[in-house]
Structure 1
């Protein structure tokens, strides 16, 4: 089947991009890098694409960016859609300052942001006179982000934007990303930032899309359990809890209950049993747990 990547004027306003049954391989004798991928990108959302190395994340972005064409299926984009792209590897003039680089790239676009506008969005004042080779990791990503939004994009595509950054630099970059544009597609190894910052998440592994939904709904869909540990010396309390919960004994007076309802269980322990239950600790199920349960794969963060 011939590939189809085109604009469609009758798309729903909520969808900026629709990916329909897309498959792709790098050569006729190669295995499929992507198989039967279907999802949409909604206006105003931050959409995360997660999976281990080799899952197909970067290949999928390359199709969305137009760098490759699907072997089958189609990608439908809203008309006149402006796209900004932040690659893992970026091109720049290393003998020029940040200001001079931005001035050079501005000439390539019609109606680009000027430096003062970019400075208000991305905060460039402290680095504008530095050469790119002199920038720290976080400063460099700020500069690359500025380049990716020069054309006032409707949608911003980010491939592993926070890889290699320390936690403070990661947080700063995400705060900037939220200021820049209303619609973002991002790949990331950091499940905590995806869970906290993305409106919806695509679970991808071995070229297949397993699920797309909000982090909260994906965790619920997976039925993965968190746990609550607590101490209790009252045997009657333990016997009563055992009637409705699966309790594991960790030592003489310490117990653990696996549950999808961590907050509800803590409320019950505190509200019903009061001082008979103490030293309460918990771990809620997270997006990484849901990914492993739904796909059968593993993501190594960092």
Structure 2
């Protein structure tokens, strides 16, 4: 039963209401051995059915209403959902507990919330970047779960995959990197969208030193999780010496002669990144000292 998809689905659904009769009920239903299921157990298990039915009905009603709110007609929905007629689809909705109605003909666009971005706020290039990042993430997840080999089997292609493939053969760092890339693409799209809707919004937000520090710490944490992992970079506080192999020694770090230039470049990039973050911290320190002096 451990690999049984029905059992897994049932366990997920009843994770807060797991019933001791459920395993026996499923086994009896599959094997036709209903005699193994006592009458009291069966009666108790039946108490689950109304809850399941109500939850599914509510979910179905919500999905139907969402589709109609996005401009579909009853005819379109019926054709998509079981090849039903308009009338049959409406009756199905009412039987599931639906009570709403929609005007006939073209519906006015729904008012956009001032707290949510609309399609007009998003740049097509940003949307394309998010779409690519999500496609890469899905392909990477599929690869990790199903098809990964030591040579790397990637069912998608693109610039992001080239960057991912440079990290190494271990699939988990690749998956983590793909998650970061997708998150960054989404965040970039959202930030740009708000700036387009409300120019200067980010500058006003960053007038708060707490916001600036939060942005810097989040950015630094994201960078540490991602960028240094693919670079030759000294990780511990030991003397560094050129040698014949790149390896950690008991009292020093040895860098192969052919790797010295790459290590130097990695150190320079890391220093530049840390200096940029330090500049923001120094600005905040100066600002707080000024405020302290103003109150003295």
Q: What is the TM-score with the length of structure 1 in the denominator?
A: 0.24
Q: What is the TM-score with the length of structure 2 in the denominator?
A: 0.24
Question: Which protein has the bigger helix share?
Answer: 2
Name the larger-Rg structure.
Answer: 2
Question: Which protein has the bigger strand share?
Answer: 1
